[in-house]
Structure 1
Amino acid sequence: MSRARPAWTPPMRDGVSASRVAVTPGPWRTVLDFLVHRLSTIPETGWRERLGRGEVLDAQGHALAVDAPCVIHSTLWYWRTLDAPEPRIPFEVEVLHQDDWLLAVDKPHFLPMTPKGRYVQETLLVRLKRLTGIETLVPMHRLDRETAGVVLFSVRPETRHAYQSMFRDRVIHKVYEAVAPWSDALAATLPLERRSRLAEREDAFMQMHEVDGEPNAVTRIELIERHGPRARYRLTPQTGQKHQLRVHLNALGIPIVGDRIYPVLQPELASGAEPDYTEPLRLLAREIAFTDPVTGEARRFASRRGLRVSA
């Protein structure tokens, strides 16, 4: 059963929808006390400044003062922002299709999907909300920050479940492309179907690996073209496990060019440092096709981007 939406929702601010938090029981004398404890990633000085600017609201939309008393079980609204300047990611999203029900876009490499960590404005969701003015946009599925290609967004809350269920029920056809090393030994076996069981590694943060057991990840792998020591491959996943395509190619001895997680996890960039934009992960969500659960139409959206094969 879906949770009832609140009677009132604050408007977006520069493409960022307001976040909601319920006040839980505790020794909170003021709203500030609660926020510092509950959302501790923001320091007390940060919350004092936000309250002083009127950026924390009660359920009726009234701005709360720094010394506002804390009311247990009440609702608070605030907008996610970053204290430090957010560097611009120098690539643009392209809208492939927009109607009353869904939005299909072509995501660039390096752009995160949704606000998290050090990214708020420089995310696909916030950019699209600013571009379209649609506050109710929600991604139907996700791509890694490093991956480019087709992403679908639901426009209306009442049809969101119907669209998202397509991915859960695996009735959607997805095709990816990747650039990876050429392997003479592997070439003789292509096309092939990689079936394995994937699980999170306990000894390596973020990484997945193949383990014994019933397969939960299936990928068809085909050769598109060879360019010297590298090749472009077509990947058709039948399942949607975390990092599935990256893990499967790595397990075959041909890790995707530009992968900072497989086979060796690379360290996070230092704060304020920019990625090497000349070396993206060479993975592209090329195409998505499905029967629209709302309109009954046959839908197909294809990326207009390409992958550089040469070194």
Structure 2
Amino acid sequence: MGMPSPLPVRDGVGATRLHVPLRGEWPTVAAYMVERFFHLDPERLLVRFDRGEIVARDGSPLARDTPLGAEEFVWYYREPPVEGEVPFAIEVLHRDDDLVVIDKPHFLPTTPGGRFLQNSALVRLRNLLDNPELAPIHRLDRATAGLLMFSARPATRGAYQLMFERRQVQKVYEAVSARPADWDAAAYPLVYRNHIVKHRGEVRVRVEPDREPNSETLIEALHADDRVVHTLLRPHSGKMHQLRVHLAALGLGILHDGFYPELLPEAPDDFGRPLQLLARELKFVDPLTGVDRVFTTRRALDFAPAGS
């Protein structure tokens, strides 16, 4: 059970919680935060204390001179970034008292982060359905489109989260890759495994070939033409960037992937060249009702070969 926020959801966005050390070289909580957020104007941050915008666990505002050690956690609302519009809508495929399933477009992150706040699936959905208790049960990369599930209320959230932890959800994706010169459809289906590690501060994951595999994907060939290959992907595990890494390792790097096999320089979003990866299907036994559930995307990959 997460620590409840003393601040309500505002405009679809929950307050941010910050852990503050109980001891250290900083005389005050404010001094710690000024150093922690060194990229911000210090006076602008201190003014937020003066306005009562940074609060303790009981909701009481902290002052500039609140000593270090007085509070271990503080809450505040992120100042809205200057964010460009993601000009694609989410589509609600299913909604009941406990579960919401949407079709997420490319370029829209699952949750707020970095330069995206209002332009995130969570915030858009909270505002659309007027439900501040919505929370994602799993996540998709910002670049990936397709099925995304949200819990509608905290009382039943754990049951759905447990399904993913226990790998009781069958997930199917599809991807389009540039056709390699040595493409051999007869080699598929195949199961690919490796050991994936995400290091703090690095945008890409690393593969450690000498360690026991911790990721596994069944890859099937759907269709190919002289330009591209369309594959169906059934991940058994859910490591970060797993499908992108596995296809790149097989010489099938996904079209328009700026991370794998090579990390390309950061560039503005090109809405005409979305990552060709789609969360196609989710299948599971509902933990509350015991009913079989199957959800299928209504989206398609723009660069898939004809006949797919």
TM-score range for the pair, normalised by the shorter chain length: 0.7 to 0.9
Q: 133, 137, 147: which one pairs with 2:144?
A: 147
Gaps of 5+ in 1: none
Give the CA deviation at 1:32: 2.9
Q: How far apart, in 2, do the equivalents of 1:212 and 1:31 lie? A: 44
Superposition CA RMSD, Å? 2.6
Q: How does 1:211-230 map to 2 (within 5 A)?
A: 211-230=209-228
Identical-residue share of aligned pairs (%): 44
Q: How far apart, in 2, do the equivalents of 1:301 and 1:59 lie? A: 39
Give the CA deviation at 1:265: 0.3
Would you say how many aligned residue pairs link Structure 1 and Structure 2? 301
Give the SS at the match of 1:50.
helix
Q: 17, 20, 28: which one pairs with 2:17?
A: 20
Residue 159 (structure 2) pairs with residue 165 (structure 1): no
1:201-254 Cα offsets, whole Å, 9 max, x none, are 89x851333613433222111122223311211111111122111111111111
Farther-moved stretch of structure 1 (50-59 vs 291-300): 50-59
User: Which residue number in structure 1 is paired with residue 240 of structure 2?
Assistant: 242
Q: How does 1:99-118 map to 2 (within 5 A)?
A: 99-118=96-115
Give the SS at the match of 1:188.
helix
Q: Any conservation in 2 of the 1:207–1:261 contact (CA below 8 Å)?
A: no
Q: 281, 285, 291: which one pairs with 1:287?
A: 281
Give the CA deviation at 1:164: 1.2
Q: How far apart, in 2, do the equivalents of 1:14 and 1:68 lie? A: 30
Give the CA deviation at 1:166: 1.1
Farther-moved stretch of structure 1 (243-252 vs 184-193): 184-193
Residue 89 (structure 2) pairs with residue 92 (structure 1): yes
Give the CA deviation at 1:260: 0.4
Q: Any conservation in 2 of the 1:227–1:309 contact (CA below 8 Å)?
A: no
1:118-152 Cα offsets, whole Å, 9 max, x none, are 22222122222222222222211111111111111
Farther-moved stretch of structure 1 (238-247 vs 8-17): 8-17
Give the SS at the match of 2:288.
coil
User: Which residue number in structure 1 is paired with residue 269 of structure 2?
Assistant: 275
Give the CA deviation at 1:12: 1.6
What is the TM-score normalised by the length of structure 2?
0.87
Gaps of 5+ in 2: none
Q: Which amino acid aligns with 1:178?
A: A
Q: Any conservation in 1 of the 2:179–2:226 contact (CA below 8 Å)?
A: yes
The 1:53/1:73 distance shift into structure 2, 3 A limit, reads closer
Give the CA deviation at 1:291: 0.6
Give the CA deviation at 1:172: 0.8
The 1:230/1:42 distance shift into structure 2, 3 A limit, reads same
